[in-house]
Structure 1
Amino acid sequence: MQLALFDLDNTLLAGDSDFQWGQFLIEQGLLNREEHLEKNLQFYEDYKAGKLDIYAFLEFQLKPLSQHPRSFLNELHTRYMQEKIAPMITDKARALVEKHRANGDLLMIITATNSFVTGPIAKAFGIDNLIGTLPEEIDGQFTGRSTGVPSFQEGKITRLNSWLEARGQTLQDFEQSWFYSDSHNDLPLMKLVDKPVAVDPDPTLKAYAEGEGWPVISLR
């Protein structure tokens, strides 16, 4: 069996699901536009520059989840999927996923964005396995904090190894392993798999991929 790992934002999606969740909440009147947008943009620039403080970002990202009942958040997410996510799912992205599915590969989305936002997106691709940063929940209510290791940079390796260990497997048990990503933040995991593929990559990843002879593709 082969393993196909996919980053989500700006890889399988032609955009960033986390950034768009914030934009959606602003449009719903649930966040202050000026305050949130400025901070969101700064975190996004830090991410692209490879200097994101993941814990500061998660505190910012997850706080809105703690301010509303889960049932209300679920209703919001349904509209968010229709308005923000559906337009970001390209035919090329779906075709890539289906190519690996037809090959019988084990499919997984592995993303730094939290699992509340990304869970329904993974289902939209028909992918059952998701590793995302975990928002803490107590008695069905989000606390605004994260739990466990954030699936960001080297944290993706930690979380993937834990998931595989729970299955009685290691990465080396697969005939081939693939990882598709757009971001240089994913270089730690890309260097571990057999088949790293740069997807609409940022300049740093593109330069590295070309230097290593990795495939560079577009799903746009």
Structure 2
Amino acid sequence: MLEEKYDAVTGPRAAPAQHGEAAFFDVDNTLMRGASLFHVARKMHQRGAFTLPEVAGFAWKQFMFILRGENMDDVHAVRDSALTLAAGITVADVEALGEEVYDEMIESRIWPGAKALAEQHLRVGRKVWLVTGTPIEVATVISTRLGLTGALGTVGEIVDGAYTGRLVGEILHGPAKAMAVRGIAESEGLDLTRCWAYSDSHNDIPLLGMVGHPVAINPDSRLRRHARENNWPVYDFRSGRRAATLGLKAATVGGAVYGLWRGTSRLRGPGH
């Protein structure tokens, strides 16, 4: 149960820091409607970075990825393609793109209910981290704009301000998220049994299962079933009906990363 302290005159007031406690939020379809990198890909299309046939191919890859379900073989295959396309792109390009996409496309898609949960954790003195497969540069923009503590995201190796085409570690997906959170817990002195985690995807069950307060938000069918079997709270912020999974999940870790790097690879210009 989240607790909130009030001042008789001014209303809600910040509580002392809750040492050892934190909350971890997935981003795509948990904190926001849809997938962040899908909107990055849309922005790249607006800039003429790729054509309509390429957009159609991008959408088909997303569809097939969802139809088959996510597995680590798929993730590794997409990772290899994405890294090849990423080599040579500058960090400044991705950071600037992240700022634009947040202002124009992401901000309006933040779930008010999920944002309220994050803000309530902050008000009672808990740190709030985003944990996402999105590149850390984009995840950091979202975290900063929302006033959160920080972000854990996929980290690309950078030399002289440009991506080398290699990762530092793995795509932050599935079990890798749990490992990253465990690392933060050790460095921050967190007691995971007193921490919260929020996600929409069954792929994040390793993360949800390692904290004392797991919460399913807008869950897919497998996570909804798992949450019900384990008596986890379920919040569904999709109005009026269950949102179409293929629409909201159109850019999960595989297709979304592919779409981002397929578009931004052309930022390098001719000769690369």
Shorter-chain TM-score range:
0.7 to 0.9
The alpha-carbon deviation at position 37 of structure 1 amounts to 4.5
Q: Look up the equivalent residue of 2:233 and give its one-letter code.
A: P
Structure 1 residues 27-36 or 78-87, which shifts more? 27-36
Q: Partners in 1 of 2:66 and 2:181 — Cα distance?
A: 21
Q: What RMSD over aligned residues (CA atoms) do the two structures have, in Å? A: 2.3
Q: Secondary structure at the match of 1:9?
A: coil
Q: Partners in 1 of 2:100 and 2:144 — Cα distance?
A: 15
Q: Which residue of structure 1 aligns with residue 53 of structure 2? A: 34
Q: Look up the equivalent residue of 2:128 and give its one-letter code.
A: L
Q: Which residue of structure 1 aligns with residue 210 of structure 2? A: 192
Residues 25, 7 of structure 1: CA spacing in aligned structure 2 closer, same or farther, 3 A cutoff?
same
Q: Look up the equivalent residue of 1:128 and give its one-letter code.
A: T
Q: Partners in 1 of 2:192 and 2:127 — Cα distance?
A: 10
Between the two structures, name the one with larger relative contact order (CA 8 Å, sep ≥ 6). Answer: 2
Instruction: Describe how 1:14-53 pairs up with structure 2 within 5 A.
Output: 14-35=33-54, 37-39=56-58, 41-43=60-62, 45-46=64-65, 49-51=69-71, 53=74
Q: Deviations over 1:128-162 (max 9, x none)?
A: 22111102211111223321133211111211222
**Contact kept? 2:36, 2:106, Cα under 8 Å:** yes
Q: Secondary structure at the match of 1:10?
A: coil
Q: Partners in 1 of 2:216 and 2:47 — Cα distance?
A: 35
**Contact kept? 2:30, 2:198, Cα under 8 Å:** yes
Residues 66, 33 of structure 1: CA spacing in aligned structure 2 closer, same or farther, 3 A cutoff?
farther
Q: Look up the equivalent residue of 1:177 and give its one-letter code.
A: C
TM-score (norm 2): 0.71
Q: Which residue of structure 2 aligns with residue 89 of structure 1? A: 110
Q: Deviations over 1:81-127 (max 9, x none)?
A: 12221121132222111111111112111111111221101112111
Bigger-Rg structure (1/2): 2
Q: Partners in 2 of 1:37 and 1:109 — Cα distance?
A: 30
Q: Which residue of structure 2 aligns with residue 135 of structure 1? A: 156
Q: Which residue of structure 2 aligns with residue 214 of structure 1? A: 232
Q: Look up the equivalent residue of 2:30 and give its one-letter code.
A: T
Q: Which has the higher helix share?
A: 1
Q: Look up the equivalent residue of 1:160 and give its one-letter code.
A: V
**Contact kept? 1:116, 1:135, Cα under 8 Å:** no
Residues 144, 116 of structure 1: CA spacing in aligned structure 2 closer, same or farther, 3 A cutoff?
farther
**Contact kept? 2:94, 2:137, Cα under 8 Å:** no
Q: Partners in 1 of 2:179 and 2:192 — Cα distance?
A: 18
Structure 1 residues 34-43 or 95-104, which shifts more? 34-43
Q: Which residue of structure 1 aligns with residue 251 of structure 2? A: none
Residues 18, 104 of structure 1: CA spacing in aligned structure 2 closer, same or farther, 3 A cutoff?
same
Residues 60, 35 of structure 1: CA spacing in aligned structure 2 closer, same or farther, 3 A cutoff?
farther
Q: Partners in 1 of 2:155 and 2:144 — Cα distance?
A: 17
TM-score (norm 1): 0.87
Instruction: Describe how 1:1-220 pairs up with structure 2 within 5 A.
Output: 1=18, 2-35=21-54, 37-39=56-58, 41-43=60-62, 45-46=64-65, 49-51=69-71, 53-61=74-82, 65-66=86-87, 68-167=89-188, 169=189, 173=191, 176-220=194-238
Number of corresponding residues: 217
User: Unaligned 5+ residue runs, structure 1?
Assistant: none
